[in-house]
């Protein structure tokens, strides 16, 4: 008589396993597609009826997922989507890819994970694999997921299999995608890891098993804390170089020639995105509960959060050199997305910079072809056309996001003053505009 594990492993081999992915956003939808490309039937489950409709019509709303690829898999009947969580009772494997934001109090908002888990509790049955992918603090799987799921006579690792596997999606990355980025998996028991490895290994090239769910949760937080702290370091370097009258960009380029023991990060207007500014605070929050203060995380967060005001001070000081006050000045912000060549505004430092400039009486407009309209965090604005009139009418242009679609030579030709927070003008020799670098 086969054990539940053996039955599941066999169904995985035979492509009979049916999969549900809860949360079909920039993490969940690529995962749905990768499993379907391997011949598995995958259902995207989401509370957002519009996303469900678009998927069932074969339309992708995630730039990294081509519509034609999604449509082909939907037409084959391999991909479907639903707002009805009862489908969770019909599948063999469930991946949870829901958001883990911060509350206004900067505490972790676990409501999405808990809501998804409570839906699974209603429908889960023996023989299922459940994998949490949402970035969260170490201990979440063991403390929140397992106690909710492993009751009613379930035996963990025998008839229910639970793992944590961090998502590693870098939106817009032209090289690394869900399939070719190694996937870390930590399970509640060795059987759990074995089952998850067998399934994910069908859709992802490299699986990296670790010894526990907490280790896997910590791997992700190390990865993103590493980035937040190093970006904080290089932002402080920018502030120090400014005081020393040294060009930080030149220093970084030269340091980057070191072929070992150095990794290049660049200063900027602040830390955007729904991961890097937020994930480390999940870790520091957890450690506070254990009476430990994660100093690097706190310090990096403090420095990175100080960059938008630092940029606004740069604008004020530069206007001052031409005897202009920021109060009443026309300021054009170039790029509002949180990083180049994407349309995502979440935690974008541009929002803080615009608010701070408006608070000081500036008349602020923005241009961002990726963000034609912005209705976000109290701002309701439209992107202005990038014309000579718009640029030359501005008392100051601030490059906040360095989209590669902009002709920076043209901009430097027609702007009066440019505050460049991304060294976007690095290749422009003798710009006509007065340029102030971060
Ligand atoms: N930034 C800097 N200086 C740098 C690098 C980034 O100021 O040297 C800023 C960016 O402008 C942006 C923020 O930091 O506002 C985050 O940038 P990011 O490049 O880390 O981009 P994310 O948050 O979209 O994606 C990251 C992933 N990025 C990379 O690995 C390059 C990766 O860390 C995670 O897979 C992902 O977050 C996630 O989902 O956790």
Cβ(248) – ligand 1 distance below 6 Å: no
Decide: 265 in ligand 1 pocket, CB within 6 A. yes
Place of tokens 């190390």: 222
Q: Rounded to 5 degrees, what angle do the CA atoms 204, 42, 21 make?
A: 75
* pLDDT score for 120: 97
Q: Which atom of ligand 1 is nearest to the CA of 275?
A: 40
Domains parsed from the chain with CATH numbers? 4-211 (3.40.50.720), 220-303 (1.10.1040.10), 306-437 (3.40.50.720)
CA dihedral 116, 117, 119, 121 (to 10 degrees): 170
For a mutational test of ligand 1's pocket, the pick from 276, 352, 353, i.e. the residue with the most ligand atoms closer than 8 A to its C-beta, is 276
Judge whether 184 and 206 are in contact, CB under 8 Å: no
Which residue positions in the chain have pLDDT lower than 50? none
What is the value of pTM for the model shown? Answer: 0.93
Identify the H or E element spanning 93. Answer: strand 93-96
pLDDT of amino acid 94 = 98
Count Cα neighbours of 277 within 13 Å in the Cβ-side half-sphere.
21
At residue 363, the pLDDT reads: 98
Contact (CB, 8 A) for 311 and 438: yes
**Per-residue exposure over 73-100, b if at least 16 CB sit within 10 Å of its own CB, e if not:** bbeeebbbbbeebebbeebbbbbbbbbb
Q: Relative to the CA of 167, which ligand 1 atom is closest?
A: 39
Bridge-based pairing of strands 128-132 and 160-164 is parallel
Burial (CB count within 10 angstroms: exposed 0-12, middle 13-18, buried 19+), residue 298: middle
Supply 142's token pair.
């063991």
Instruction: Supply the residue whose CA is at minimum distance from atom 15 of ligand 1.
Output: 272
Q: In a mutational test of the pocket of ligand 1, which residue from 182, 339, 350 has the highest number of ligand atoms less than 8 Å from its CB?
A: 339
- 270 within ligand 1 shell (Cβ under 6 A): no
Given this model, what pLDDT does residue 106 score?
A: 82
CA 71 centroid distance within chain: 25
Nearest atom (ligand 1) to Cα of 224: 33
Ligand 1 in contact with 171 (CB < 6 A)? yes
The pLDDT value given to residue 153? 79
Residue 232 C-beta-side C-alpha neighbours within 13 Å: 21
Q: Which residues are catalytic?
A: 275
74 lines ligand 1 (CB under 6 A): no
How many residues in the chain?
Answer: 438
Look at residue 280 in the predicted model and tell me its pLDDT: 95
Q: Which pLDDT value is given to residue 377? A: 85
Ligand 1 mean position, distance from CA 275 (Å):
8
Q: Residue 104 has what pLDDT?
A: 81
SS3 78: coil
Residue nearest to atom 20 of ligand 1 (CA): 276
Interatomic CA distance for residues 261 and 370, integer angstroms: 36
Ligand 1 atom nearest to 274, measured from its CA: 23
Token pair of 248 as six digits:
């930080």
CA of 277 to the centre of ligand 1 (A): 9
Q: In the prediction, which pLDDT does 336 show?
A: 98
| Whole-number pLDDT of residue 381 | 97
């Amino acid at each position: 008589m086969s054990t539940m594990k053996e039955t599941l492993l066999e169904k995985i081999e035979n492509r009979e396993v049916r999969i549900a992915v809860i949360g079909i956003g920039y993490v969940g939808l690529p995962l749905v597609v990768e499993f379907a490309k391997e011949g598995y039937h995958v259902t995207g489950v989401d509370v957002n009826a519009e996303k469900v409709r678009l998927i069932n019509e074969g339309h992708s709303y995630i730039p990294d997922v081509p519509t034609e690829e999604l449509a082909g898999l939907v037409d084959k009947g391999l991909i479907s989507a639903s707002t009805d969580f009862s489908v969770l009772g019909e599948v063999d494997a469930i991946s949870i890819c829901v958001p883990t934001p911060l509350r206004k109090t900067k505490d972790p908002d676990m409501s999405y994970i808990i809501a998804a888990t409570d839906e699974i509790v209603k429908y889960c049955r023996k023989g299922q694999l459940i994998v949490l992918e949402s970035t969260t603090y170490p201990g979440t799987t063991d403390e929140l997921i397992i106690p909710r799921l492993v009751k009613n006579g379930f035996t963990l690792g025998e008839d229910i299999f639970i793992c944590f596997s961090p998502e590693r999606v870098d939106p817009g990355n032209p090289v690394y995608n869900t399939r070719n980025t190694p996937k870390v998996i930590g399970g509640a028991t060795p059987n759990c890891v074995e089952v998850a490895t067998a399934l994910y290994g069908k859709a992802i090239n490299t699986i990296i098993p670790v010894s526990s769910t907490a280790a896997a949760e910590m791997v992700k937080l190390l990865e993103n804390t590493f980035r937040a702290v190093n970006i904080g370091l290089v932002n402080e370097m920018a502030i120090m170089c400014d005081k020393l009258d040294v060009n930080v960009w030149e220093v970084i380029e030269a340091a980057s020639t070191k072929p070992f023991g150095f990794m290049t990060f660049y200063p900027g207007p602040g830390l955007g995105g729904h991961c890097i500014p937020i994930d480390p605070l999940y870790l520091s929050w957890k450690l506070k509960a254990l009476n430990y203060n994660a100093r690097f995380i706190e310090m990096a967060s403090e420095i990175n959060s100080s960059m938008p005001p630092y940029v606004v001070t740069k604008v004020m000081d530069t206007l001052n050199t031409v005897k202009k006050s920021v109060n009443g000045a026309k300021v054009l912000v170039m790029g509002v997305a949180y990083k180049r060549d994407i349309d995502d505004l979440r935690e974008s430092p541009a929002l803080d910079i615009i608010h701070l400039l408006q608070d000081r009486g500036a008349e602020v407009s923005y241009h961002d072809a990726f963000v034609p309209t912005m209705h976000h965090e109290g701002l309701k604005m439209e992107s202005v056309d990038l014309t000579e009139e718009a640029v030359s009418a501005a008392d100051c242009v601030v490059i906040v996001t360095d989209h590669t679609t902009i002709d920076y030579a043209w901009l430097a030709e027609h702007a009066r003053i440019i505050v460049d927070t991304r060294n976007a003008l690095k290749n422009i020799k003798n710009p006509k505009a007065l340029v102030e670098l971060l």
